[in-house]
Structure 1
Amino acid sequence: MLEIVATFICLTTLLTYVNYRFIGLPPAIGVMVTALLFSLMLQGLSLLGYPGLEDRVRALIGEIDFNDLLMNWMLSFLLFAGALHVNLGDLKSYRWPIGLLATFGVLIATFVIGTLAFYIFAMFGWHISFLYCLLFGALISPTDPIAVLGALRTANASKPLKTTIVGESLFNDGTAVVVFTVLLGIAQLGEAPTVGATAMLFVHEAIGGVLFGGLIGYAVYRMIKSVEQYQVEVMLTLALVIGGSALAYELHVSAPIAMVVAGLIIGNLGRKLAMNDMTRRYMDGFWELLDDMLNAALFALIGMELLLLPFSWTHLTAASMLAVAILLSRFITVAPAIALARRWRNIPQGSIRVLTWGGLRGGVSVALALALPVGPERDLLLSITYIVVLSSILLQGLTIGKVVKAVTAPKAG
């Protein structure tokens, strides 16, 4: 185990260095691109008759349980770190678009994408049940803000846009995981539970996550307030994420949602009332570094998953069609939510375009696809998901800045 961790950390660090030194893309996207190039180089060496290095790296990546690593560990850290820097006042100001997109938006996207996927798969002769298509819709619905936030900052995106994108992405991961879990349970049982049972499971996971996150977040806030030593205070937040996530899984409530709520409490209430300047500086530095390291590792792993997954031109064609379908579903969910939210808040023109194009897919989708039961459906959906995620990060992630600038640029005359 130590050998795997050491090798992967060194490899991720090397890829990060290469991107920073020679490629110069935004950190998360750059690491993934570098990992992709590294994977392609290994495959090229194999074609030239030198398969040894590819075999060793493939064996290394194969020993890493991507689903367990991301869903049970990394996601909680990433969401807590993200929530730590979100202003609760801004979040409240734009709670309507955020709430609509993170709840009803996920449900609508799951159904729309699942329905379109059912017909697209049928076009290629793949007989995938509608339930599995809905599972695909659920796993591909959550948006990933990591790759897009840097572009939004450099493009001087407005506060409503940044707040809505960040707020939605913090909560829709948890919502999508809950929806996916419910659908996966139905698939494994072989029969659909009653509407009441499904609703209760959803409420238990989602609302339970909110309440649990609020409870542990407030408890740790009180503990931080009672001490004046930054080392202890930082350790308390670290214990909050590790212990809180483990306990959330035992209680069968949503750990991602719980970590978002806890992060908002510590980042707002704790920052204002329980921390001095030195603690804030060390707290921010620790969680920013940890966030950057985990993001680099996550995107490096996404790039190197290329070595493990089978692909064909048919998969690529189907994934391209589904990528368009996903953008369409994104527009269908974003447009009504923003139109409705404009009744209460002043949301800039062009927001629908930016939010639609800025809905990147990321590691959560790949991790959920890996959680599907072993079988032909899993192999197909995993390959399709991987291609969609790659295209989303590369195409949308590298162009969202231009979209923001085009929308926010002053009109001539």
Structure 2
Amino acid sequence: MDYFFIITVLVVLSALFGYLNVRVLKLPNTIGLMLITILFTLAVFVLSYFDSTLLNAEKYIISQINFETVLLDVMLSFLLFAGALHTNFEQLKVQRWPVFLFSTLGVLTSTFLVGIVTFYLLPTVGLEVSFIYCLLFGALISPTDPIAVLGILKQAGVPKKLETKIVGESLFNDGVGVVVFLTIYQIAKLGSDNVTAIEVAQLFGQEVIGGIVLGAILGWVTYRLMRSIDDYDIEVIITLAAVMLGTVIAQKLHLSAPLAVVTTGLIVGKDTVRNSAMSKITESYVDKFWELIDILLNTILFVLIGMELLVLTFETSYIIAGVISIPLVLICRYISLLIPVNIFKKKLNFVPNTTLIMTWGGLRGGISIALALGLTQEMHRDLFLVITYVIVVFSIIVQGLTVGKLVKKLKKEE
């Protein structure tokens, strides 16, 4: 079974499940696709008691796909660029300091809070795990997923000022979150005695600052190239080349590819750049092209997330730990947002209940699952994969379906 066949199966399933969602469920695509895929996979499980052909085929497809590599090294760059391209740069510029603190201090605070809580929680269900591995779980579950957030916020009716904060945070904090995860991963793998504080700071600075600088350079080059010609076909290809080249360079130089493409996307999507470098027809084609890429990859991604159910190790203690972790992770996120919100509350005239809406609207998604899949067995991969999956499914389905209702309810109470 070659890769073309596997991609064909995924695209066909995505089209079929997307059609069912639009025609029957009428849920936001992100939620509907994942829900239908999970139900489909459960139905395949039941059917396997009579005939295991379909189950074996689905298992084979999943075994041939390295979810971590496909998402983090391939899909993520395209999805983040598409999201950044349509983000209001001027609003983000106004909100840059709270967004910066949300995506740095917020992620670090949440990582340590979740790590500590998990360390003391797991023994209550009969599981003993070293603190460093709990901290690793805190790092992978703390970043909100821009792919899930962007898809659902469009339909949630969140005030524009607050939407900019949530979207801006999610665009940047996954890049920072991946760097934090990789740093703790190195410490867990090599031992704290073999990794110095200077090395940690150097890795963090290289990945984060290097990624942003690379993205700024690529954004400027892309802008200059697009400004010097007027051919919408070639200009669309230039944006595609910028994303792909930026990803390759970042991976080769050990910089943060997510932060690089987000920075490039914000520069190319800036109003002043659009007005001076793109004709109206070019702007339309660029936007439509990246909207299509966004929809296609999103659709495939959430079908894949649903199918990842097949790789879980179903143990009662793991599932219980996952269910208990849901409110605890939400509380940790709420606390991690308090400092940035309180610092800028008066200066930037925050929307009432900002912390509550950002907590409930900060969805987890494929990035957390991809990072969990990257753990080794020694790091309790099976345990943390189940906990992560439970949190992600709750986050996308329950929080995703209710964030709009929460916003409306809070508006009425003002």
Above 0.5 in TM-score?
yes
Separation of aligned partners in 2, 1:342 and 1:271: 32
Give the CA deviation at 1:148.
4.2
Tell me, yes or no, if the aligned pair for 1:220 and 1:236 is still in contact at 8 Å: yes
Q: Does 1:56 align with 2:57?
A: yes
Separation of aligned partners in 2, 1:105 and 1:296: 29
Which residue matches 1:346? 349
Q: Does 1:264 align with 2:266?
A: yes
The alpha-carbon distance between structure 1 residues 155 and 14, as it changes in their structure 2 partners (threshold 3 A), is closer
Secondary structure of 2:376's counterpart equals: coil
Which residue matches 1:174? 175
Q: Does 1:184 align with 2:163?
A: no
Give the CA deviation at 1:155.
4.2
Separation of aligned partners in 2, 1:327 and 1:191: 29
Which residue matches 2:330? 327
Give the CA deviation at 1:376.
6.3
Give the CA deviation at 1:374.
3.5
Give the % identical residues.
46
Separation of aligned partners in 2, 1:258 and 1:151: 24
Separation of aligned partners in 2, 1:152 and 1:349: 17
Per-residue Cα deviation, 1:287-339 (whole angstroms, up to 9, x for no partner): 00100111111111001111221223322211111111110111101122111
Normalized against structure 2, the TM-score is what?
0.96
Per-residue Cα deviation, 1:367-390 (whole angstroms, up to 9, x for no partner): 001111244611111111111111
Which of residues 399, 404, 407 in structure 2 aligns to 1:401? 404
Give the CA deviation at 1:243.
1.4
Separation of aligned partners in 2, 1:146 and 1:260: 13
Tell me, yes or no, if the aligned pair for 2:231 and 2:282 is still in contact at 8 Å: yes
Which residue matches 2:234? 232
Secondary structure of 2:157's counterpart equals: coil
Per-residue Cα deviation, 1:208-241 (whole angstroms, up to 9, x for no partner): 0010110111111111111100110000111111
Secondary structure of 1:344's counterpart equals: coil
Tell me, yes or no, if the aligned pair for 1:224 and 1:270 is still in contact at 8 Å: no
Which residue matches 2:17? 15
Task: Give me the CA root mean square deviation.
Answer: 1.4
Q: Does 1:385 align with 2:371?
A: no
Which residue matches 1:214? 216
Tell me, yes or no, if the aligned pair for 1:148 and 1:400 is still in contact at 8 Å: no
Tell me, yes or no, if the aligned pair for 1:224 and 1:233 is still in contact at 8 Å: yes
Separation of aligned partners in 1, 2:72 and 2:276: 32
Q: Does 1:134 align with 2:135?
A: yes
Tell me, yes or no, if the aligned pair for 2:125 and 2:320 is still in contact at 8 Å: no
Which amino acid in structure 2 is aligned with residue 93 of structure 1? V
Which residue matches 1:202? 204
Separation of aligned partners in 1, 2:214 and 2:39: 42
Which amino acid in structure 1 is aligned with residue 256 of structure 2? S
Which residue matches 1:276? 279
Secondary structure of 1:57's counterpart equals: helix
Which residue matches 1:120? 121
Separation of aligned partners in 1, 2:137 and 2:151: 28
Which segments of 5 or more consecutive residues in structure 1 lack a partner in the other structure? none
Per-residue Cα deviation, 1:381-405 (whole angstroms, up to 9, x for no partner): 1111111111111111110011111
Separation of aligned partners in 2, 1:238 and 1:349: 39
Which residue matches 1:65? 66
Give the CA deviation at 1:125.
2.4
Separation of aligned partners in 2, 1:399 and 1:346: 25
Per-residue Cα deviation, 1:251-278 (whole angstroms, up to 9, x for no partner): 1000000000000011115312200000
Which amino acid in structure 1 is aligned with residue 255 of structure 2? V
Give the CA deviation at 1:8.
1.5
Which residue matches 2:107? 106
Which amino acid in structure 2 is aligned with residue 380 of structure 1? L
The alpha-carbon distance between structure 1 residues 392 and 99, as it changes in their structure 2 partners (threshold 3 A), is same
Which amino acid in structure 2 is aligned with residue 279 of structure 1? T
Matches within 5 A, 1:294-333: 294-333=297-336
Which residue matches 2:367? 364
Tell me, yes or no, if the aligned pair for 2:222 and 2:242 is still in contact at 8 Å: yes
Farther off after superposition, 13-22 or 109-118: 13-22
